[in-house]
Amino acid sequence: MRENKYDDAVFFQKYSEMDRSRQGLTGAGEWHELEKLLPDFQGLSVLDLGCGYGWHCKYAAEHGAAYVLGTDISQKMLEAAEQKNPGPNIEYRQAAMEDLGFADASFDVVLSSLAFHYVADFISLVQNISRWLKPGGRFVFSMEHPVFTAYGSQDWCYDETGKILHFPVDNYYLEGKRDAIFLGEPVTKYHRTLTTYLDTLLRNGFQLQRVVEPQPPEHMMDIPGMKDELRRPMMLLVSASKAVEG
């Protein structure tokens, strides 16, 4: 059973009201850092795994990509993508990323934004991505930080007055399912260690180019709760390239 919370009507409605859904890339707190990690898309073929509303697909196409394939498990997300971010070089396809198959060396770039925490088997996925990429191809993704996913609830610890005390970490080395609350709804996510994320890349023919924990940008500090995001790392951004040899 692939995780597909986004076709749940209530959850999708709440997701659609988030800044990152209404405003697109500029509404996402990590975008100012993620953009720096993206390659020059000119003439390249791009795969976006878990494309959601298609904002990154549109960005790649507008920056010269020859072909962009956005995939997502959620039909509702893809309908929104077709409506908000269509393009002559953009194709959207419904599929769980675990079920995709492509010929070797099909893409120059593989992107994924905040989707890997829904995937049970990251290692197999990385092995697939490595095969799908051309030698020298780029793999750029954001993910929920292992600190953020370890405990499970993804909520702070509070004192009796409701004031934040700290963020809890537990069961760090116990990888697997977590029952998280996102937008007030129960969502199944998968926790894994930093080792599993980064060392899996290094052991499967990737070179790391950048590893960045994005801090919220200054102009978002007035958004309620945003200053607290300096107290815990919520996301990790990774840029890697497939080794030309091997």
Among 16, 106, 188, 207, binds its own copies (CB under 8 A): 207
Q: Residue 170 or residue 218: which is nearer to its own copies going by CB?
A: 170
Q: Bridge partners of 92? A: 70
Of 171, 155, 118, the closest CA to residue 234 belongs to: 155
Q: Closest distance between its own copies and the C-beta of residue 69, in Å?
A: 29
Q: How far apart are CA 156 and CA 229, in angstroms?
A: 11
Q: Is 194 helix (H, G, I), strand (E, B) or coil?
A: helix
Q: How far apart are CA 1 and CA 77, in angstroms?
A: 18
Q: Residue 18 or residue 208: which is nearer to its own copies going by CB?
A: 208
Of 44, 45, 47, 211, the closest CA to residue 128 belongs to: 47
Encoded one letter per residue, x for contact with its own copies by CB under 8 A and - for no contact, window 167-206 reads xxxxxxxx------------------xxx--xx--x----
Q: Residue 66 or residue 220: which is nearer to its own copies going by CB?
A: 220
Q: Residue 134 or residue 232: which is nearer to its own copies going by CB?
A: 232
Residue 189 Ramachandran class (φ > 0 left, ψ -120 to 50 alpha, else beta): beta
Among residue numbers 213 through 242, which ones bind its own copies (CB under 8 A)?
213, 215, 230-233, 236
| Contacts with its own copies, residue ranges (CB under 8 A) | 147, 151, 157, 165-174, 193-195, 198-199, 202, 207-213, 215, 230-233, 236
